[in-house]
Amino acid sequence: MKILCAGPTSISPEVLNALSKSKTNPDLDPEYQVFHRSVEKKISKLLNTEATSFFMLGEGIMGLEAAIISLVEPQDRVLVLSNGFFGAGFADYVKFAGGTPVVLEFDFRNGIDVNKLDSFLQQDSNFKLATFVHCETPSGLTNDLNEIVSVLKKYNILTIADCVSSLGGEAIDFDESGLDVLLGGSQKCLSAPVGITIVTISDRAKKVIDDRKTPVISYYMNFKNYYDFKGAPFCYTMNENLIYAMDIALEELFNRNSIELHKTYADITREIIQSAGLELYAKNCRSNTVTAVLMPNEIESESLLKLMRQKYIAISKGVGNMSEKLFRIGHMGQNISKDNFKALFKALDECFKELGVELKISLYDSFCEKIGEV
């Protein structure tokens, strides 16, 4: 099966080979701790920062909840910026921590409007922190990280961003952005196995944790246990296999000029899709890691996905109330290759024909023309 979905993404043979290695006991071997920290520092390198980065064992969404658990205390007001499925989800985590979420909603087909955000904050800025999603995978949007943080910092509001689907695929400078907490995952643009949450945290956010009036209500999801644990190298036994795989995945990413590669394939995909007469879901701020497309002729997306699976290609459908109205292509991580995308567009041509959809152009022929293989 060729993986062209919005994650988890394809994994290279070299990364899979690294995953199979078992070399030591990570609890007892001091050399493992040095190696582990060196891999975490590669995340900081990717983000152009010296700020602390660390790994947690668990799928990336765990980091979203852990950030709230670590930083929010009972009665804290949290501004939840929502222009997509995952943005809205932060409100639940705030409630779990005893905080009070205030959801500011934006149109799901457009990037977060910073003018609307600023106008709202002029009337009410009494928030400890704000959350938002950098890349909303369900809708194919990438919000403007720097602009959003810049507005929030004017009001001295701590910032948390879900970058699970943008880390490694969109240009991010942690220091330049002024972000306080960046949350990532292993299984999207990094093309490492599922199971690692990635966190990069500012000194400002660390101080907020230090200055809490109440204890963090979790051991496992307490950020401080990952960057300042006493008495042992780690707060629990780390999975050395996943870290070996992550190390190779990051080296592959650095060697591929990843940011430019994601942008190139995103531009080509969007241009071809629109030339064929299909409509992109995102009207602006379109993502360089995933493209969401409205299904034509009121056909349900599962009809397309089923035909694609029969041709051994996996793409994604929509999420939530858009589940059967969209299909999504993940041009992210190791999904990106000429052969994968030739197979993708050839299969889409065939499947749309089987569904009775007449495209204005051949997706396959147009892609081959774009990459010079006509």
Binding region: 328
Q: Strand pairing partners for 326? A: 294
Cα separation of 342 and 54, whole Å? 37
Cα separation of 138 and 115, whole Å? 24
The CA-based angle 96-98-104, given to 5 degrees, is 80
Residue 32: phi, psi to the nearest 5? -65, -40
Helix %, strand %, coil % for the chain, to 5? 45, 15, 40
The CA-based angle 152-223-9, given to 5 degrees, is 80
Q: Which residue has the tokens 């979905």?
A: 5
Q: Which helix (H) or strand (E) holds 371?
A: none
Here the tokens at position 142 are 């990438």
Cα separation of 169 and 290, whole Å? 10
Cα separation of 248 and 56, whole Å? 18
Length of the chain: 374
Would you call 217 helix, strand, or coil by DSSP?
coil
Cα separation of 188 and 6, whole Å? 7
**How many Cα atoms sit within 13 Å of 260 on the Cβ side?**
4
Q: Strand pairing partners for 292? A: 328
Binding region for substrate: 328
**Are the C-beta atoms of 15 and 252 separated by less than 8 Å?**
yes
Cα separation of 168 and 201, whole Å? 17
| Identity of residue 362 | S
Per-residue DSSP letter, 190 = T
